[in-house]
A and B are shown apart, each in its own frame.
Chain A
């Protein structure tokens, strides 16, 4: 039983890592009352997924996907796909990172506005003040 669990964790360590990170983010989003901490939790949540998808492109004994003449070989470019990591997840996640940064920016701008308006970023205090201001 212990061996089976150990094998599973070793065999899927990228999955395990992303799930642990994701749960940390999830905890921060649900368990914390400070809105900035919630936002940090959201970021951890997103980055865990990005990390996971990037990890999908890894291959044993593969190199960066740039075709260079004489790379590992004496003559001509190496053109066997098995020798290179898959570049597509990296590119996709680059876009996802940009999206994530944009969301963080918008969320921080909103927090700034909330703080200016209500003078707090604690959720319970904020709820009272929103209610008080109608």
Chain B
């Protein structure tokens, strides 16, 4: 076997993992060094992801065999075009949120920065590991590292967050247990845990009941992890009660990585023909995704708390990703992956905005956001761009991913899905425009003032510090760049990773 080997994929995981173990000691010994070290680890991880992505685009998939044990016996790390894209967005967003979090957590959870960053890095390591690994059981371990870290991060703020975190523990662990059961079932008939090896052995066993049961447990377990409607109940509480930096981090990454795992196993470990024709799981997922899009958006409209609104909107956006997977054709798959990356930045950006508003004013109720555009113009502008991307206005990335999804729905001949995508976008406009109205039109109250009256009192400009504004602006820039260069992303990362056997 002359697979292209490199140590870089492991570095992406190891840098945050090892640093995370060092932090408690360092924090006890010399606290000012903690934050720079965290940034270094995240930057190393990001650099390694860029190097790996370049390597993958030039030379094809990169492998690394742990301890020199060749697969299927050893644990293999494998980065192909799809996982390279995932690793890139993961490491970039975690680096940006890392920079942002310094001021934010000083305000929201003072004197807890050492435990916060320890668990933060653990979360990053778990996420990157889930994406990079090519071993089913290793994936379970990384899944649980990620989950444990996110339970701790959600609860770190205290208050109602602890109750939300406990609910998250129960549901998240059930999801992971189902995944473990699926691995057990698949292992019992194939005797293998390596993904490439499984995909070679499994086609002869597609008729086996054991494989079917294993696959069903896998889909349900991962659906809980990705908060797919109606298994999303842990999400709103966890997102809205957590400290803002944590919301941004978790909302942008954990559910997306779970969606990636779903794609990886459905289309790469199993062949598309298994999940499309032999059991109609893609059809089912498509409809569930459609339901999530509508109901998540409707629930979002009903919220008066900004962070809760964003959380319900996440449920809807997961629906888009799953609907794209459910379409089971190339345009749908492209749209799904593109939306996955776009949404990570959009929702990350929106939660960063929410955090900035909490940082400066302590406000969370949308009704109280009056005068905000005068007080915090840059934050308001960031919110506007992110909101436009969520609604799907060109040239932001959100437009193109929805465009591909609609193309996919037309290719699949499913006009209901076309309608659902458009309707859900309109609903997104409804809940986001409401926030925009409060931010930009100060005196426009419910009785319909028109919003043209002069501002009553002169409002001082009072922006958040630059270390928070910088990451927010960077996320905004990335959202626009993802839209402008979406062709590049599709050509370099998504097309080469297209699973064989999807309908055109």
A binds B: yes
Q: Which of B170-201 contact A (CB under 8 A)?
A: 170, 173-174, 177, 180-181, 184, 187-188
Cβ-defined contact, A103 with B166, below 8 A: no
Assess the A56–B169 pair: CB atoms within 8 A.
no
Contact A49 B184 (CB under 8 A): yes
Is A113 a contact of B174 with CB atoms below 8 Å? no
Interface check B163, CB cutoff 8 A: yes
Q: Which residues of A contact B159 (CB under 8 A)?
A: 117, 133
Complex Cα spacing A106 to B184, Å: 25
Q: Which of B162, B184, B188 contacts A114 (CB 8 A)?
A: B162
Contacts of B158 in A (CB 8 A): 113, 117
| Count, chain A residues at interface, CB 8 A | 31
Map CB proximity to B onto A49-69 as digits: 1 under 8 Å, 0 otherwise.
110110010000000000000
Q: Are A114 and B148 in contact (CB under 8 A)?
A: no
The interface residues of chain B lying within 8 Å CB-to-CB of A114 are: 162-163, 166
> A46 at interface (Cβ–Cβ under 8 A)?
yes
- Minimal Cβ-Cβ distance residue in A for B138: A95
Whether B148 and A102, one on each chain, are in contact in the complex, defined by CB atoms closer than 8 angstroms, is: yes
A120 to chain B, nearest CB (A): 11
A95 touches which one: B141, B174, B181, B184 (CB < 8 A)?
A: B141
Q: Is the CB of A38 within 8 A of B170?
A: yes
* Residue in A46, A102, A111, A113 whose beta carbon sits within 8 Å of that of B177 in the complex: A46
| B402, chain A: closest CB distance, angstroms | 37
Bitwise interface map of B from 334 to 375 toward A, beta carbon under 8 Å scored 1, else 0: 000000000000000000000000000000000000000000
Answer whether A52 and B184 are a contact pair too, CB < 8 Å, given A29-B170, A110-B151, A117-B162.
Answer: yes
In the complex, which of the residues B137, B141, B180 contacts A49, with contact meaning CB atoms closer than 8 Å?
B180
For A92, what are the chain B residues with a Cβ–Cβ distance below 8 Å?
137, 187
Q: Decide yes or no: A96 and B181 within 8 Å by CB, A45-B174, A106-B148, A117-B158 being known contacts.
A: no
Interface contact tally, CB-CB below 8 A = 78
Question: Which A46-103 residues have C-beta < 8 A from chain B?
Answer: 46, 49-50, 52-53, 56, 88-89, 92, 95-96, 99, 102-103
Q: What B residues does A133 contact at CB under 8 A?
A: 159-160
Q: Which residues of B contact A46 (CB under 8 A)?
A: 173, 177
A42-B174 in contact given A95-B141, A113-B155 (Cβ < 8 Å): yes
Q: How far is the CA of A95 from the CA of B158 in the complex (A)?
A: 30
> Are the C-beta atoms of B174 and A29 separated by less than 8 Å?
yes
A24 CB–B CB distance under 8 Å: no
Contact B187 A56 (CB under 8 A): yes
Which of A35, A95, A106 touches B152 (beta carbons < 8 Å)? A106
Query: In the complex, what residues of A have CB within 8 A of residue B141's CB?
Result: 95, 99
Contact residue range for chain B?
Answer: 20 to 34
| 0/1 string, B101-143, CB within 8 A of A gives 1 | 0000000000000000000000000000000000001001100
A126 in contact with B163 (CB, 8 Å): yes
Docked-complex contact B163 and A49, CB < 8 angstroms:
no
Q: Choose one: B160, B169, B177; the contact of A107 (CB below 8 Å).
A: B169
Q: Is B165 an interface residue (CB 8 A)?
A: yes
List B contacts of A102 (CB < 8 A). 144, 148
CB contact under 8 A between A110 and B181, given known A42-B173, A103-B148: no
Q: A99 contacts which of B144, B165, B170 (Cβ < 8 Å)?
A: B144
User: Chain A residues with Cβ under 8 A from B181's Cβ?
Assistant: 49, 52-53
By beta carbon, the residue of chain B nearest A134 is B160
B-side contacts of A113, CB under 8 Å: 155, 158, 162
CA distance A114 to B187 in the complex (A): 39
Within the assembled complex, what's the spacing in Å between the Cα atoms of A18 and B408?
42
Which residues of chain B have a CB within 8 Å of any CB of chain A?
137, 140-141, 144, 147-148, 151-152, 155, 158-160, 162-163, 165-166, 169-170, 173-174, 177, 180-181, 184, 187-188
Q: Which 4 A-B pairs have the closest CB atoms?
A: A53-B184, A99-B144, A110-B166, A113-B162
A interface with B by C-beta (< 8 Å): 29, 35, 38-39, 42, 45-46, 49-50, 52-53, 56, 88-89, 92, 95-96, 99, 102-103, 106-107, 110-111, 113-114, 117-118, 126, 130, 133
23 residue pairs of the A-B complex, CB under 8 angstroms, read A35-B166, A39-B170, A42-B169, A45-B174, A49-B177, A49-B181, A56-B188, A88-B187, A92-B137, A96-B180, A99-B141, A99-B148, A106-B151, A106-B169, A107-B151, A107-B170, A110-B162, A114-B162, A117-B159, A117-B162, A126-B163, A130-B163, A133-B160
Q: A39-B170, A89-B187, A110-B169 are in contact. List 11 more A-B contacts (CB 8 A).
A: A45-B173, A49-B180, A89-B184, A102-B144, A106-B152, A110-B165, A110-B166, A113-B158, A117-B159, A118-B163, A133-B159
